[in-house]
Chains A and B, each alone.
Chain A
């Protein structure tokens, strides 16, 4: 069944704060509005392909693609290697962790995949099943990634002499 404009608006308006927060953790504040508009424009175009109840993680998935593309464009302006960068939509260390240098350093050692799954579950408060939708992988894969990501983060903190994760 095709979702009407009214139904789309009624259904998706509730996700504006979440999408804004998701984007703000990943891009500059000035870019949030435009990217959010793109997220919902894509969502409208593909509105019939999302399962009921999975709208938010699906929006995150769209947003993740757009953030990765956005970053690649920015990177390309700074360095020729930017065009060849691996897609990365996870929050960066310098974006949010100035108040905890040890954690920032450890966060920076994680792979994009590890940062993304941690961000979705810990910062964006998605359940594992929802994160699976956002990442386009199975819940089992999310569980494995999440476990490895936490393990890597703890190890990185330990390596920096910070033995207390709390």
Chain B
């Protein structure tokens, strides 16, 4: 066998050599190496540079700027969608970039990701699902309002924007129950009953008495699970009672469950809670969507997907089994801004938190719909960086665990999708999740060179609220 193998090798070498004998490999100029530092390195997952180079006019360049991966060739298939990149619904992506930028500045660390030996080198196939909004904002609000006893007609919220429309039934000042819906993405709606939490009035000399669990008027675990199951089912979430998570504490009883597609728990959840002090329903949230399969597509291997960890455009939000990483950073830096800013006495979260990366427990914020991509106020001028800049510390992370799952992703039009991806556990224990679709199935936004990050570019606010 060794002789045979050697003979085969020699035959291969001869054959290739003979073919190339009249067309040998070119002598490369040393400038290729000496000028490497000055040449912009291509992103290994991006076709945009070449498609732009192939464009014949300024208008063509403009046309490919958003969907650079696919529009250079008129016969190429249209992508399913263009992933959100600037503003729209890319709270996760933009915030990830922002978080990454923050990390670079604060800690000055560059992460290099390498695939571990245990990762698969085989690609596969995976289904893509569109999360299509059902009905109209008025019809959804009518159904939810009737369910929770909120009277009134649907009106535009104070923060209504044509690009990110939101509607409300009931007052927005928290004086009475209301139902609000954000008519983008997953048509996230939330009910809030501010009266469910009685106002606490005491002076400083009054000793605070910690409520006791046994005094709770909220439903117990079993009853809450049953009530939540009925509520979730009625609002479009098919879930087994056993898959509903119930949390009982001296302040409230909460229940939540995740949308499961193809047996995979996604990042999209429904929730409901009752006050321990009054026993009343105090908040609930959900989504008005139907899951529509849009086809099955090739996926890259886990090894290949590791490279995407260096490119925020591939990031998505995985389900509850893979929390942490950029998802949490995104929630903290952008999506859940109001929850953070609200302070201890404010509602602690928003159903918007059920969008990329946030498990979605706590009370919805009734007044201000938090738009995807919205974050901290953006300074108009970048802060001057200290000179000379220190060299970033490079931390090499070997990814040893990658699990196939479904990721929640927003497109540039404000629609939500579930796409195949990998959740990759980092050595610290948290997870990052990247899309595993082969290039071209979806279009990516233009990359942002980390060295060119400027305030106002990473996270442009889609609309002034």
Residue B11 at the chain A interface, CB threshold 8 Å: yes
Given contacts A8-B33, A86-B298, A100-B11, contact A113 B394 (CB under 8 A): no
How many chain B residues touch A (Cβ–Cβ < 8 Å)?
Answer: 63
Q: Give A98's nearest chain B residue, CB to CB.
A: B19
Given contacts A83-B439, A84-B441, contact A38 B37 (CB under 8 A): no
Determine how close the nearest CB of chain A comes to the CB of B348; give it in whole angstroms: 41
Find chain B residues with CB under 8 A from A21 CB. 25
Residue pair A38, B112 in contact (C-beta under 8 Å): no
Residue pair B7, A166 in contact (C-beta under 8 Å): yes
Complex Cα distance A42/B112, Å? Answer: 13
Determine how close the nearest CB of chain A comes to the CB of B39; give it in whole angstroms: 4
Residue pair B26, A137 in contact (C-beta under 8 Å): no
Contacting residue for B75 out of A80, A150, A153, CB 8 A = A80
Residue B115 at the chain A interface, CB threshold 8 Å: yes
The contact string, 1 if C-beta is below 8 Å from chain B, for chain A 127-166, is 0000000011110010000000010011000000000111
Determine how close the nearest CB of chain A comes to the CB of B115; give it in whole angstroms: 5
Main secondary structure, interface of A, reads: helix
The contact string, 1 if C-beta is below 8 Å from chain B, for chain A 18-61, is 01110111000100110011101111111011000000000000
Complex Cα distance A72/B42, Å? Answer: 15
Complex Cα distance A38/B42, Å? Answer: 6
Determine how close the nearest CB of chain B comes to the CB of A66; give it in whole angstroms: 7
The contact string, 1 if C-beta is below 8 Å from chain A, for chain B 290-310, is 000000011010011001000
Residue pair A84, B298 in contact (C-beta under 8 Å): yes
The contact string, 1 if C-beta is below 8 Å from chain A, for chain B 1-15, is 000110111111111
Residue pair B12, A118 in contact (C-beta under 8 Å): yes
Find chain A residues with CB under 8 A from B14 CB. 100
Find chain A residues with CB under 8 A from B396 CB. 49
Find chain B residues with CB under 8 A from A24 CB. 20, 23-26
The contact string, 1 if C-beta is below 8 Å from chain A, for chain B 89-118, is 000000000000000000000001011010
Q: Give B70's nearest chain A residue, CB to CB.
A: A83
Find chain A residues with CB under 8 A from B7 CB. 164-166
Find chain B residues with CB under 8 A from A23 CB. 25
Determine how close the nearest CB of chain B comes to the CB of A15; give it in whole angstroms: 8
Complex Cα distance A12/B32, Å? Answer: 10
Complex Cα distance A40/B171, Å? Answer: 61
Given contacts A137-B303, A166-B8, contact A48 B440 (CB under 8 A): no
Determine how close the nearest CB of chain B comes to the CB of A99; give it in whole angstroms: 5
Residue pair A166, B47 in contact (C-beta under 8 Å): no
Interface size class of A (residues with CB under 8 A): 35 or more
Determine how close the nearest CB of chain A comes to the CB of B347; give it in whole angstroms: 45
Find chain B residues with CB under 8 A from A66 CB. 42, 44
Find chain B residues with CB under 8 A from A123 CB. 12-13, 16
Find chain A residues with CB under 8 A from B240 CB. none
Residue pair A16, B439 in contact (C-beta under 8 Å): no
- In chain A, positions 92-138 with a C-beta closer than 8 Å to chain B are 95-100, 103-104, 113, 118, 122-123, 135-138
Residue B452 at the chain A interface, CB threshold 8 Å: no
Given contacts A5-B37, A8-B37, A40-B33, contact A153 B25 (CB under 8 A): no
Find chain B residues with CB under 8 A from A97 CB. 15-16, 19
Residue pair A136, B121 in contact (C-beta under 8 Å): yes
Q: Give B16's nearest chain A residue, CB to CB.
A: A96
The contact string, 1 if C-beta is below 8 Å from chain A, for chain B 415-442, is 0000000000000000000000011110
Determine how close the nearest CB of chain A comes to the CB of B203; give it in whole angstroms: 61
Find chain B residues with CB under 8 A from A36 CB. 28, 32
Residue pair B39, A9 in contact (C-beta under 8 Å): no
Residue pair A91, B16 in contact (C-beta under 8 Å): yes
Complex Cα distance A21/B438, Å? Answer: 28
Given contacts A20-B25, A122-B12, contact A42 B41 (CB under 8 A): yes
Q: A25-B20, A122-B13, A165-B11 are in contact. List 9 more A-B contacts (CB 8 A).
A: A17-B27, A24-B26, A33-B26, A41-B42, A45-B41, A65-B307, A103-B15, A154-B4, A165-B8
20 A/B residue pairs, CB under 8 Å, sorted by A: A8-B36, A9-B34, A13-B33, A17-B28, A37-B32, A41-B40, A42-B42, A44-B39, A44-B41, A49-B396, A62-B44, A69-B47, A73-B47, A73-B50, A76-B440, A84-B77, A96-B15, A136-B303, A165-B4, A165-B7
Closest 3 pairs (CB-CB, A-B): A83-B440, A166-B7, A24-B25
